[in-house]
Structure 1
């Protein structure tokens, strides 16, 4: 099947690379952001929460399995998420034109920079991105060991992940969070991309996937858990997580990971 494609770097596009770069220099109030992902939490949560936090002009689009199977959902790499950024400036030559971004890590980092979530200088930015990358790949390590394996191996993979991989992750991050003063943030004393991403990973593992088993692990690490407590009290994020829309995404995620990825039956 040939899937529908979004314009990314085509040389015959109506926008040159320089014009696209100029759009990205516009103020947040002069842009709109359309974020497309599955109707799940998972890898889409961090970008959604940054768009909410940044008070951006945004819309969340959701792909159905039927729509995906038809090949009509436009993407860059036959994968989600994608972010479409539209120029809203009436006087701009590119008014109404769009720039497209792909790949979760690229989109997350781009939004973090726009909304002041990448620190105050280059070193802080690099440190935040390092923590973010390590958090992001915890999800990948989880998928490799517990989801994309034969059903009869999933319980063993889960137990090894929770007892070894997750423990080592928590120990590493606890060390660095203590070094930053155990203040609920990874770098300095400001909310960052790494903080939000960790909170979403914790929320996913403890709400969607493994419940109390994951919760018991995370709560052993006081500095790490303080990040979760800090992020969930950010007014915009707290309000978003109380919406029916967000709760619906969590419920659909539980169904998806239970039905399609067969969470081990002995989950409490």
Structure 2
């Protein structure tokens, strides 16, 4: 039987919801930032109404998820139409398209996908050492990642941002999904390396991206909430950043 999330009968509902800006959203994820952070950033930045559902008994609800993992997104439009999306990448792209963070043409969308793919690759490298249990192996893997692929990412992204005018954006002069992903990644990298790789002096264009994202009023308001601060504390305890 086709999973409800993948039922082709949902096509009409998705088409109807895609242009709705006044929907209510529910983000189903653990009570930390993790893989749900970008989804929440996009919703907060767009001024969307959303709630966080943090399952107390995830094992009981896990079979409802198509792949047995979170985050999951539920959208309810003003006319009562309900759609659900699984997988963080799919959720982020859907929300970016809905709220204007995904480019104005195929070329811009491809650029955004390219930068996001690069960001995701580095996140995977970082998680590669975060999840190691042996302290010595973890320290060695961390140093290797930071001095190798992470340093290379910093160099290349700083160059591409400079080529776009160092205006705080990857594509044109507007916020896109790539900006949000990199703003998050900068903080994570600095959490492990201080200002050895990324700083106002060394990488002004990268720093400008984060500063530009941080200035979004509705995002700043979300980050000032007790809920966001609680997520940040749990994230630090669980993942180290």
User: Normalising to structure 1: TM-score of the pair?
Assistant: 0.81
CA-to-partner distance for each residue in 1:179-222, whole Å, 9 max, x for gaps?
Answer: 10111110111111111111112223435xx2xx2443111211
Contact 1:6 1:100 in 2 (8 A): no
Matching residue of 2:28:
36
Matching residue of 2:55:
63
The structure 1 segments of at least 4 consecutive aligned residues displaced by more than 4 Å after TM superposition are 148-151
Matching residue of 1:216:
196
**1:8 and 2:1 matched:** no
Gaps of 5+ in 1: 90-94, 264-268
**1:104 and 2:83 matched:** no
Match of 1:124 among 108, 115, 122: 108
- Which structure's residues are more often helix, by fraction? 2
Question: What is the deviation of 1:244?
Answer: 1.8
CA-to-partner distance for each residue in 1:33-86, whole Å, 9 max, x for gaps?
Answer: 11111111122111101111112221111234xx12x33243121111111122
Contact 1:146 1:155 in 2 (8 A): no
User: Normalising to structure 2: TM-score of the pair?
Assistant: 0.89
The alignment covers a number of residue pairs equal to 237
Question: What is the deviation of 1:119?
Answer: 1.9
Matching residue of 1:195:
179
Matching residue of 1:92:
none
Pair 179,26 (structure 1): closer, same or farther in 2 beyond 3 Å? closer
- Whole-Å Cα distance in 2 between the matches of residues 242 and 215 of structure 1? 25
Contact 1:132 1:194 in 2 (8 A): yes
CA-to-partner distance for each residue in 1:126-182, whole Å, 9 max, x for gaps?
Answer: 111211121122111111244246443101011111222211000110111011011
- Whole-Å Cα distance in 2 between the matches of residues 163 and 53 of structure 1? 33
Contact 2:75 2:83 in 1 (8 A): yes
- Whole-Å Cα distance in 1 between the matches of residues 216 and 77 of structure 2? 29
RMSD, matched Cα: 2.2
Pairing of 1:1-268 with structure 2 (within 5 A): 7-10=4-7, 16-29=9-22, 31-64=23-56, 67-68=57-58, 70-73=59-62, 74-89=64-79, 95=80, 97-148=81-132, 150-207=134-191, 210=192, 213-219=193-199, 220-258=202-240
Contact 1:162 1:214 in 2 (8 A): no
